[in-house]
Amino acid sequence: MAAKIDPPYLRIVAEIRRRITDGELSPGDRVPSTRQIAGEWKVALATATKALTTLRQEGLVQAQPRAGTVVASPEPGHARAPRRMTPQLDHELTRERVVRAAIGIADAEGLAALSMRGVAARLGVATMSPYRYVNSKDELILLMADAVFGEESYPAVAPSGWRARLELGGRTLWVLHRRHPWLAQISPLTRPLMLPNLMVHAEWALSALDGHGLDPTTILDLHVLFYSYIESIAVHLEREAQAEAVTGLSDDQWMDTQAPALAAMTASGDYPTFARIIGALDHGYDLHLDKLFELGLNQMLDGLAVLIEGRPTCQATPVTLA
């Protein structure tokens, strides 16, 4: 009688479990992502997702937003041992749970790793169960976006002045995009999303621009520019995480690999302005997206002041939202 062969996902689970048990992977170390597992074991992304879900259910790994999946720390006083979780019963599912599971996958592994199979695996239900609540992956992504846009709201009494209102609106949207980097990836600017919770943010910005003598087309154009500025910076949050996941290098480590090319460019004499500016820096140039966002936001609001008030206004003191 032929020996029973374990499904591919169980063989992957066994190997990663061995690496953890043998100390090849320590608590806090990143384990292979779904895409890396798929490449190493030549399996589908859904199979890779199921393997990671099983390891999470056993308590061996845990997902950390934007850090991916890492080895979990054992509870104090307890030796590490696999623990099995009872599979989620289909009748206990809700649309909200499906959406939240999908958001968890996108937050931890990026939008590219999201699949209906992966959501089912994360919830521990049959593959087709989420389809009883969501018709398709496209619909699921819209529900995810609407849910996260609803995580932040605005005060009943608005700050005085159009600039203070737009500053608050811009920073609120930045907080949401920072919390969920995939949010900037879901739709082109030319195909706006008709989502109730996104419209809350649009209403806030439009009401700040309204009533200053601008025609309706200009108001809408300015709102599109305002939102697209935030999105254009936020799109790099997901790209940054993806690049680190693929290369295994942090931004600083990657820049270190570029040092020879940078030195050659500055020494070539072909780019004198670049060489002079770089040479004037005491400790090099660190690109911080949060600082870049604040700089651009204030410059944009200064430009809007020319249209709204006919003159620049003083830059407001940056406010950091938690």
| Selected residue with higher pLDDT from 282 and 202 | 202
Q: What is the mean pLDDT of residues 23-48?
A: 83
Do 135 and 184 sit in the same domain of this protein? no
Do 175 and 211 sit in the same domain of this protein? yes
How far is it, in rounded angstroms, from Cα 110 to Cα 24? 26
| pLDDT, mean over the chain | 83
Residue 319 lies in a domain: no
Do 140 and 172 sit in the same domain of this protein? no
Domain that holds residue 117: 90-149
HEC string for 125-155: CCCCHHHHCCCCHHHHHHHHHHHHHCCCCCC
Q: Please tell me whether residue 308 adopts helix, strand or coil conformation.
A: helix
The closest alpha carbon to 226, from 276, 185, 172, belongs to: 172
How far is it, in rounded angstroms, from Cα 188 to Cα 167? 23
Do 218 and 124 sit in the same domain of this protein? no
Do 236 and 297 sit in the same domain of this protein? yes
Q: What is the CATH number of the domain that holds 24?
A: 1.10.10.10
Query: What confidence score (pLDDT) does residue 86 get?
Result: 44
The region of weakest confidence among 99-108, 203-212, 310-319 is 310-319
Residue 83: pLDDT over 50: no
Residue 242 lies in a domain: yes
The region of weakest confidence among 75-84, 217-226, 304-313 is 75-84
Do 174 and 224 sit in the same domain of this protein? yes
Q: Mind listing the pLDDT tens digit for each residue in 84-100? A: 444 445 557 899 999 99
Do 224 and 285 sit in the same domain of this protein? yes
Residue 81 lies in a domain: no
Quick one: tokens of 97?
């749970």
| Selected residue with higher pLDDT from 217 and 90 | 217
Rg (CA), the chain: 24
Residue 317 lies in a domain: no
How far is it, in rounded angstroms, from Cα 209 to Cα 232? 21
Residue 42 lies in a domain: yes
- pLDDT category at 216 given cuts 50, 70, 90 is very high
Q: Mind listing the pLDDT tens digit for each residue in 155-205? A: 998 889 999 999 999 999 999 999 999 999 888 888 888 999 999 999 999
Residue 321 lies in a domain: no
Q: Please tell me whether residue 60 adopts helix, strand or coil conformation.
A: coil
Q: What is the mean pLDDT of residues 18-46?
A: 83
Number of domains within the chain: 3
Do 216 and 294 sit in the same domain of this protein? yes
How far is it, in rounded angstroms, from Cα 21 to Cα 31? 13
